[in-house]
Amino acid sequence: MLNYLINRAALRSRVLRLTPVDTLRRQASAARRRDFRPDTDLSAAAGAVLAGVDDRGVHLLPAAAELLGNDATTIERLIANGVDGWEWNGDGILESDEVCNQDGEAYRLGLNSTLLDLAEQYIGERCFYMGCSLKREDVSSFKGGTRQWHLDIEDDRMLRIIIYLNNVEEGGGPFQYIEAPRSRLACSQLVYRSGYISDATMRSAVEEARWNSAYGPAGLIVAFDGTRVFHRVARPTSKARLSLSLTYTSRHPRHVFRQVRLRLNTCRSALSDLSERERACLPGARWT
């Protein structure tokens, strides 16, 4: 069954890249955005995030409480618990099901009503909460994977929230990004479609002075659209980085990674009391 779901998702992704199908998909998406009407007005903090991501592709918010309200206490607890508060696997990444089983409140942060409102108003239509990842970026010489420049491929427009769970300073593996207008030019210059880009290749399109690093205290929120800004995790050289990432797409995404899916037992035990809206934001089996 798992192989079937993986193969089906891969086939769907390939079909969506066909020009006639992609044209129809984009037309349907534009129609949904025209018809979308938000349910509520955003708070001042959420409005500032929306404006920043709209304009530059990225917005930094120093304190989680400004956006998360009472749910910020969960962030405070995760910061206090640190790395030792989790049972880690070999690669230093815990995906949705693992996070939910170990700490249901951490997973449910992504269903915070303010974050859902923000995601829907940025994307311009009803959203999916594509789960969370807890990442421990250790000090190492490894420079592959997401430590290289890339754009995300899940959808045409998406919102990702990264929350630092420790102080991130020089050498601490900050999130790095190139603002959307310059990323758009680099995309064109490099004839970029997907995949990872080396530093040397990126330098040929964007001078290092335009490579931004997000330094800040534990609790810093980095909100960005990974489809519009080249980004990466800088390699930690002196101190590991601990962070929680929450991801949102439209309900008609281009690609869904299987790690966003929760096992049925997890849903029954940890998410049995979700509201109708929260449940509708979780992608079902047909998307995974």
Q: Give the per-residue pLDDT at 249.
A: 97
Rounded to whole angstroms, the Cα distance separating 178 from 200 reads 15
Of 210, 219, 176, 270, whose CA–CA distance to 71 is shortest? 219
- Give the 3-state DSSP-derived string for the chain, with helices as H, strands as E and coil as C: CHHHHHHHHHHHHHHHCCHHHHHHHHHHHHHHHHHCCCCCCCCHHHHHHHHHHHHHCEEEECCCHHHHHHHHHHHHHHHHHCHHHCCCCCCCEECHHHHHHHCHHHHHHHHCHHHHHHHHHHHCCCEEEEEEEEEEECCCCCCCHHHCEECCCCCCCCEEEEEECCCECCCCCCEEECCHHHHHHHHHHHCCCCCCECHHHHHCCCCHHHCEEECECCCCEEEECCCCCCEEECCCCCCCEEEEEEEEEECCCCCCCHHHCCCHHHHHHHCCCCCHHHHHCCCCHHHC
Mean pLDDT, the chain cut into blocks of 10 residues (288 residues total): 42 60 78 85 95 98 89 96 93 93 95 97 96 94 89 95 97 97 97 95 97 97 98 95 97 85 77 90 68
Quick check: pTM over 0.85?
yes
- Residue 229 has what pLDDT? 98
Q: Give the C-alpha separation, 222 to 59, whole Å.
A: 6
Q: How many domains does the chain have?
A: 1
Query: What local confidence, expressed as pLDDT, does residue 6 receive?
Result: 41
The tally of CA atoms less than 13 A away on the side-chain side of residue 73 is 3
pLDDT (tens digit, 9 = 90+) per residue, 46-97?
999 999 999 999 999 998 888 999 999 999 999 999 999 999 988 899 999 9
Phi, psi of 107 (to 5 degrees): -65, -40
Give pLDDT tens digits for 226-256. Answer: 999 999 999 999 999 999 999 999 999 988 8
pLDDT at position 202 is 97
Domain that holds residue 283: 2-287
d(CA 34, CA 12): 25
pLDDT at 264: 77
CATH of the domain at 251: 2.60.120.620
What per-residue confidence (pLDDT) applies to 1?
A: 36
Q: What is the pLDDT of residue 75?
A: 96
